[in-house]
Amino acid sequence: MSIESASLRMLTGMAAVRVMMLLALVLPTVSTIADLSSGYRMTEINELADGSGVVAHLELTSGCETYGPNLKELRLTARYEDGGRVHIHITDPLLPRWEIPDMLIPRDRVEHIPIGQSTSPIRFTETSYTLKRESNWIASHQLKITWTKDPFSFSIIRRSNGDVLFNTLPEAEGGRYAFNPMVFKDQYLEISTRLPQNSCLYGLGESTRPSGMRLVPGQSYTLWATDIGSWNLDFPLYGSYPFLMDMRPDGQTHGVLFLNSNGMDIEYKSGDSLTFQVIGGVFDFYFFAGPSPMGVVDEYTQLVGRPAAMPYWSFGFHQARYGYKDIEELESVLAKYDAINFPVESIWADIDHMDGYRDFTLHPEHFPEKRMRSFVQGLHLKNQKLVMILDPGIKIDETYATFTRGRELGVYLRNGTGDGYYVTQVWPGATHIPDFLHPNALDWWTKEVEEFYKIVPFDGIWLDMNEPANFCSGPNCWFDPAVPCIIIDSCCMTCDNDPDKLTRWDNPPYKINGYKSKLPIYKNTVATSALHYDGTPVYNTHNVYGMAEGLATYKALEKVQKKRPFVLSRSSFVGGGAHSAHWTGDNGATWTDMKHSIASMLNSGLFGVPMVGVDLCGFYMETNEELCERWTQLGAFYPFARSHSDIHTGPQEIYLWKSVTETASKAFYWRYRLLPFFYTLMYEAHTSGAPIARPLFFEYWEDKETWEIDTQFLLGSSILVSPVLEPNQTSVRAYFPKGIWYNLFDTSDVIRAEDHGIWKHLSAPKDTINVHVRRGSIVPMQDFAMTTTLARKTPFSLLVAFAPSFHFAEFCAAGRSIVCRGIDREFATGQIYLDDDAQPTMDITEGRASLVKLEAIRTYGHYVLRSTVTQPDCAINQRLIINTVVVLGLQARPFSVHLNGRLASVQVNANDSMMELSGLNLFVREAFELIWNIMPNGNGVHSR
């Protein structure tokens, strides 16, 4: 639909003079790049046809040649969208610029929204506009967009309290600008926002931060995917997540997504502003209203993609090592685990299994095909799994079918001139790098997965080195036959990276701070001047490479295996969690690495990648017994639990130390009992984005004490994990938010934080980790077994956490509650998700998946536990039973128990911390109501 634009000229001659006088005053006193632009002015505005926002024209006021010329015209689209978000998009109106493809993050494109017809100009004031088609929905939206016309800036405001969440106006303070007006050049974009001094910011990853999860004023955060071990501090690592969570003093939280894959620095100035400096693309901002942290992640994952459903088996324990030299060693490792009765869900094959480090191959002597097929068949008979590694580098070898098939389809990245394929060096030597944005790439990759699956029916794929890594650096590298390659993981190519020979892609005018010393962005990766099939330089796509490979691998597995895929990827981007799990890469075997692992794990969940873990006991460096003992305790409660170590260090399997064996067995006994709880949290993540492992502030965002805590974490909202993170310690200082908390391993040990959160020193012997259950929770568990398949068939038990009954009675005696009058109630809730573990999603569908919601209610002396079941005909439900109910906070025996209205005969056990009903034999698929009554004694305290 075409329209007549209403041209609104904003800047008079006198106004222009005043602006230039102001600039003359302030430019010498601000940062060294303050002369990049004096900003833009808004000159024209039109309403979108659907009434959701406006399109406006921006014109440059003045600019300079630093980092290149400023674009003279820009187009702004500002929209209100569903899901509590607003969208600001600013780009070149004349020439298309790089934006993340819809194949990676499907979304509505602003250029596809027609402009409405208007016979008169939109009513337009200095800071707002009125939409002719404005609906009640927009008027009631949680967020509001306002702006200034000259210099152009925009603000995002929370309607409920007027809080300014994002404000790009470079306000003058004492004759100085706080920051530059908006800058838009071809290879340098800059925009800033003001912040209140007391903001609390999280996100902007991935990096290992000694400062913890909360962002630190005065620090710059670089987003550029790199092959750097995560034991290095404050370096950009494997993933790039331009997503920010901002918590304000009242606890209300909003999110900011800068949907741009180009390299960038984000400078958190002295606590009062945030500056985005990006080397390409467009300004594409999404703002999420929240106002809780959980609400923000819900809205964010609605846009970028809900986390992928993970198969049930992936929540078991996994064993890997770079350096298992042959199939006999894999068998030996599993046999040694069997000897200590430790549950190993899967064994992983690192690059050792390959023939000459070629993807989709087996070493003919060390991992022969026939033996591998027999090995995998034996694993599957024992309900165990095999996961195999893939690297993106494809060896250049005319006898290698994967290589030749890829060349026939043209699916490799081309060099910067476009007249040949780009060459890197990784494990196989000379390699080409697949172009996963190529229209033929998915068919080719699926074919390779399919052919390999015929040889080895593996269960999952592990993607490594997919930043993508390169042992050499630069666009002008070649192999010299006269130079032998002695050390395979060192560069054997000859590289000429004379600055005069570099293109603007490999040597951009602005240098991001990725390596802290302004090293080139092509360092140890594909040259950023390399080209995709359509001419797009890797300069634009580098940060989404791992995500694109993960998506292709997920789709290939889904087609080949015809069941729910499992993909673990080292590199990722926002939205990568929609198809891949993640581990935090090559960490170190140090206590600081173990400590930092918690913040890294929590950040991953915040970014929408909830299935995350860390190499237990460390990957690099030599571990030690005490460290490994403590780390396996902690790792038992990571969402993804895997031991993995490097060939250059000694082995570190759990069976090597008696103390580690005993401690890990104890911790993983509880992990396997909690499998239905973990799996239900996966369902919550898949449907709402909620992280499995959560920072305390996600649930207790109104408690400021939780805002800085990243040495503890929650599993869901019910379980609090408080590990020991330092050597030679037998106690730990832990924070307990407001509530009542039961020690999972000894329910007589109760922490009462009744009026507010408290810090407590907890006993933590070397073989013990502190894990507590929150009052108000119903935690589903099953019996321990040596594999997830067997554990999944065992009877359920439900752990119901009420307040201690004497505490409950004291409320009555003190007049602090109306419970005694039978009006008030105490509730506990939980749920169980069950499915066939085959469909890619976790939708509640007939015959495939069920959701059992649990609710327990206590009035004075009267207890009700009931379930409701959605889609009860899930096949896995048919024989599953709930055998036991354990009620915390109840020390008395009931004088009657009724099941579905009839007197029930059950076994009862009661002690000083709980009451247990067993022998229930309740079918999970059938809704039930269990009622029992306790006789209080004369003074209102329940009889023991």
Identify which has the larger pLDDT, 609 or 31. Answer: 609
Locate the DSSP E strands across 174-308: 176-177, 183-184, 189-194, 200-205, 219-223, 241-247, 253-258, 264-268, 273-278, 283-288
Which letter does DSSP use for residue 434 in this model?
A: B
What is the per-residue pLDDT for 486? 81
Answer for the pair 211, 201: CB distance below 8 angstroms, yes or no. Answer: no
DSSP string, 695-764: -HHHH-TT-GGGGG--SSEEETTTEEEE---STT-SEEEEEE-SEEEEESS-TT-EEEE-SS-EEEEEE-
With a pLDDT cut of 90, the percent of the chain lying above it is 79
| Sequence ranges of the chain with CATH classification 2.60.40.1180 | 690-774, 795-934
Identify which has the larger pLDDT, 440 or 132. Answer: 440
Residue 36 pLDDT > 80? no
CA triplet 877, 554, 561: central angle to 5 degrees? 60
What is the per-residue pLDDT for 12? 30
Who contacts 33 (Cβ-Cβ below 8 Å, separation ≥6)? 66, 67, 180, 190
CATH number belonging to domain 37-291 = 2.60.40.1760
* For the ranges 116-120, 474-478, 726-730, 819-823, the one whose mean pLDDT is highest: 726-730
pLDDT tens digits, one per residue of 802-832: 998 755 555 455 444 444 544 468 999 999 9
Burial of 364 (0-12, 13-18, 19+ CB in 10 A): exposed
Gap between the Cα atoms of 118 and 890, Å rounded: 69
CA triplet 837, 839, 840: central angle to 5 degrees? 105
What is the per-residue pLDDT for 331? 98
Identify which has the larger pLDDT, 337 or 172. Answer: 337
With a pLDDT cut of 70, the percent of the chain lying above it is 90
Answer for the pair 52, 201: CB distance below 8 angstroms, yes or no. Answer: no
What is the per-residue pLDDT for 31? 40
Closest CA to 733 of 705, 754, 755: 705
7-21, 268-282, 553-567: range with lowest mean pLDDT: 7-21
Residue found by looking up tokens 């805002």 in the block: 707
Task: Report the chain's C-alpha Rg in angstroms.
Answer: 30
pLDDT tens digits, one per residue of 495-505: 999 998 899 99
795-934 fold: Immunoglobulin-like (2.60.40)
Interval 431-446 mean pLDDT: 98
Which tokens in the block code for residue 253? 């939280």
pLDDT tens digits, one per residue of 696-709: 999 999 999 999 99
| Sequence ranges of the chain with CATH classification 3.20.20.80 | 312-679
Closest CA to 527 of 572, 462, 577, 478: 478
Beta strand 796-801 with 881-888 is parallel
Residue found by looking up tokens 């999970």 in the block: 924
Gap between the Cα atoms of 147 and 127, Å rounded: 5
pLDDT tens digits, one per residue of 790-806: 999 999 999 999 998 75
What is the per-residue pLDDT for 121? 47
Residue 680 pLDDT > 80? yes
Share the mean pLDDT of the chain: 90
pLDDT tens digits, one per residue of 3-29: 222 222 222 333 332 323 222 323 333
pLDDT tens digits, one per residue of 657-667: 999 999 999 99
What is the per-residue pLDDT for 878? 82
Chain centre distance of CA 109: 24
From residue 415, give the alpha-carbon distance in Å to each of 392, 432, 544, 826. Answer: 17, 10, 19, 67
Residue found by looking up tokens 């990766």 in the block: 525
Give me the helix-helix angle, 625-635 and 658-673, nearest 10°.
0
CATH of range 312-679; options 3.20.20.80, 3.40.1350.10, 3.30.1300.10, 3.90.1300.10:
3.20.20.80
What is the per-residue pLDDT for 318? 98
Gap between the Cα atoms of 193 and 429, Å rounded: 46
Identify which has the larger pLDDT, 890 or 143. Answer: 143
Interval 374-384 mean pLDDT: 98
pLDDT tens digits, one per residue of 119-135: 444 555 655 555 655 66
Phi and psi at residue 246, in whole multiples of 5°? -120, 115
What is the per-residue pLDDT for 124? 58
Beta strand 241-247 with 253-258 is antiparallel
Gap between the Cα atoms of 495 and 90, Å rounded: 39
Interval 589-596 mean pLDDT: 98
The H-assigned helical ranges of 750-814 are: 788-791, 805-813
What is the per-residue pLDDT for 513? 86
Which positions are catalytic? Answer: 464, 467, 586
Residue 171 pLDDT > 80? no
What is the per-residue pLDDT for 519? 84
What is the per-residue pLDDT for 178? 82
**How many alpha carbons fall within 13 Å on the CB side of residue 533?**
13
What is the per-residue pLDDT for 509? 95
Give the SS3 label for residue 899: strand
What is the per-residue pLDDT for 14? 30
What is the per-residue pLDDT for 366? 98
Chain centre distance of CA 755: 33
Beta strand 152-158 with 164-167 is antiparallel
pLDDT tens digits, one per residue of 39-95: 999 999 998 888 889 999 999 998 889 999 999 999 999 999 998 999 999 999 999
Interval 771-798 mean pLDDT: 98
Answer for the pair 146, 128: CB distance below 8 angstroms, yes or no. Answer: yes
Q: CA torsion, points 651, 657, 659, 660, in degrees to nearest 10?
A: 20
Residue found by looking up tokens 């989709």 in the block: 360
Identify which has the larger pLDDT, 873 or 192. Answer: 192
Q: What CATH architecture does domain 690-774 belong to?
A: Sandwich (2.60)
Phi and psi at residue 91, in whole multiples of 5°? -150, 180
Interval 525-529 mean pLDDT: 97
Which letter does DSSP use for residue 704 in this model?
A: G
What is the per-residue pLDDT for 198? 82
What is the per-residue pLDDT for 173? 60
Beta strand 346-349 with 385-390 is parallel
What is the per-residue pLDDT for 125? 60
Closest CA to 916 of 929, 928, 930, 926: 930
Gap between the Cα atoms of 786 and 428, Å rounded: 37
